[in-house]
Amino acid sequence: MTARTKNKPLHMDSLLLVTTAALLSFGLLMLYSATLYVDIAFWHQQLKWVALGLLAMVAAMYFPYTLLQRLAVPIIFVTLVLLVIVLLFGQPLLGAQRSFEILGISVQPGVFARLATVIYIAAWLASKGEQLHQVRYGLFPFAIILGVLCGLVALQPDLSIAALLAATGLLMFFFAGGDPIQIFLSLLIGGSTFGLLAWQLTHARERLINYVAALKDPSQLSYHAQRSLMALAEGGITGVGVGRGLLKTGYLPFPHTDSIFAVIGEETGLIGVALVLGLFALFAYRGYRIALETTDPFGALLAFGVTTMIVLGALLNILVMTGLVPFAGTALPFFSYGGSEMLVTLTGVGVLLGVSRGRPKGDWDAILDRSWRDWRARLSGSSRRTGFAGH
């Protein structure tokens, strides 16, 4: 640790917290609009999940993240058990078996597996050190670990979550110092395996065929993709107004979950879309900066993994909704309805903020702290002038 680091106080990343609050607030506003013509009960239920998620975020923020390294094995073991349980006793829905009920609450182990995988892989990679460059101790066991997790999720089937797990894991391997050639081979083998698996599933094969056909003829896009692009085009620059979107009233499938980005585009236009992209970009910047500034290997990998998990989830949803990749049902973090998704996202943010507390205070944190103190001073002075101080 340098002298400069020693002289700087340790502090939570204030700008990341503000960015999270902005994403969550905008997400609740747009979800309210999206559920007006579906069922407003979804929004009320989401408020409960947000409240629970915020509690989890605060708990994770102040929980010593270093203990997660010791708990990584039990966490991934429980996750594997839950992934097996959902395959055996899960509730079939739309051709997939991704959830089961506990005390009347629907639980999606595949979603929780994303955060559990980040924690376990961060701990595993941090323990390898220079051995990571050796295929026998690095790539080979890493591929087995990640392959088992992705395989169990893909069997549900949930190819979008499986792809996010694989992509997050590989990027963490690269960040940890993995050999680029090994990573390239992993991408080649993993991509081929994923393509073959997708081809064996009827609905996935149809989506791939439609996507390839649409590259030559845009009219061959799937109904869902066409409606999403129509909503985005309808919004123009400024949008039709929050709550005034037409396509969510029965023309756009799943407006409160998979397609909420299209609702944002129609009702807030290019300005709203740019705001969403800007907030996620700022979230990524702060998250990756935390990872780079953290001297503890496990903490750095954990911060990188959580940031990648959330950002890749958002990126995949946006690419799907704009027709740039084959259609896949995936949530937009902070925006889409879903208790499991919200809990995992906010808990992940809490872990990220917890890691940030162990690093030196940055310039933005100092600016926000100073602004807060100035505002409090002005408020105090105003109170004294108006006579409140005397009561």
Q: What sign does the CA torsion over 130, 73, 198, 171 have?
A: negative
User: Any residues with CB less than 8 A from the CB of 135 and at least 6 apart, and which?
Assistant: 182
Beta-carbon-side half-sphere exposure of residue 366 (alpha carbons within 13 Å): 7
- Delimit the domains of the chain by residue range: 8-373
Q: Looking at residue 330, what is its pLDDT?
A: 87
With b for 16 or more beta-carbon neighbours within 10 A and e for fewer, the 293-329 pattern comes to: bbebbbbbbbbbbbbbbbbbbbbbbbebbbbebbbbb
> Would you state the structure tokens that stand for residue 7, as one six-digit string?
């002289």
Tell me the sheet residues that pair with 93: 96
Q: Residue 192, class by beta-carbon neighbours within 10 Å (0-12 exposed, 13-18 middle, 19+ buried)?
A: exposed
Q: Looking at residue 382, what is its pLDDT?
A: 47
313, 167 contact by CB (below 8 A) = no
- Output the CA torsion 242→244→249→252 (10° steps): -60
**Separate counts of helices (H) and strands (E) for the chain:** 14, 3
pLDDT (tens, 9 = 90+) of the chain, 391 residues, equals 333 344 444 577 899 999 999 999 999 999 999 998 888 899 999 999 999 999 999 999 999 999 999 999 999 999 999 999 888 887 777 666 777 777 667 778 888 999 999 999 999 999 887 777 776 767 788 888 888 888 888 888 788 888 899 999 999 998 988 777 777 777 777 777 777 776 666 666 777 777 777 677 777 777 788 889 999 999 999 999 999 998 888 888 889 999 999 999 999 999 999 999 999 999 999 999 999 999 899 999 999 999 999 999 999 999 999 888 887 778 999 999 998 899 999 999 999 999 998 765 555 455 445 554 554 454 445 444 444 444 4
168, 284 contact by CB (below 8 A) = no
Q: Looking at residue 139, what is its pLDDT?
A: 77
Determine the Cα–Cα distance for residues 181 and 261; give it in Å rounded to an integer: 36
Q: Residue 123, class by beta-carbon neighbours within 10 Å (0-12 exposed, 13-18 middle, 19+ buried)?
A: buried
Q: Residue 390, class by beta-carbon neighbours within 10 Å (0-12 exposed, 13-18 middle, 19+ buried)?
A: exposed
Determine the Cα–Cα distance for residues 117 and 305; give it in Å rounded to an integer: 9
Q: Looking at residue 79, what is its pLDDT?
A: 92
Q: Looking at residue 362, what is its pLDDT?
A: 52
Q: Looking at residue 88, what is its pLDDT?
A: 85
194, 142 contact by CB (below 8 A) = no
∠ CA(334), CA(335), CA(340), 5° rounding? 65
pTM of the predicted model as reported, rounded to 2 decimal places: 0.84
Q: Which of 262, 265, 260, 263 is nearest to 275 (CA)?
A: 265
Q: Looking at residue 186, what is its pLDDT?
A: 74
If you write DSSP's letter for every residue of 83-149 in order, what string do you get?
HHHHHHHPEEETTEEEEEEETTEEE-HHHHHHHHHHHHHHHHHHHHGGGGGSTTTTHHHHHHHHHHH
Quick check: bond before 157 cis, omega within 30?
yes
Q: Looking at residue 134, what is its pLDDT?
A: 72
Q: In what order do the strands lie in the sheet with 91-93?
A: 91-93, 96-102, 105-107
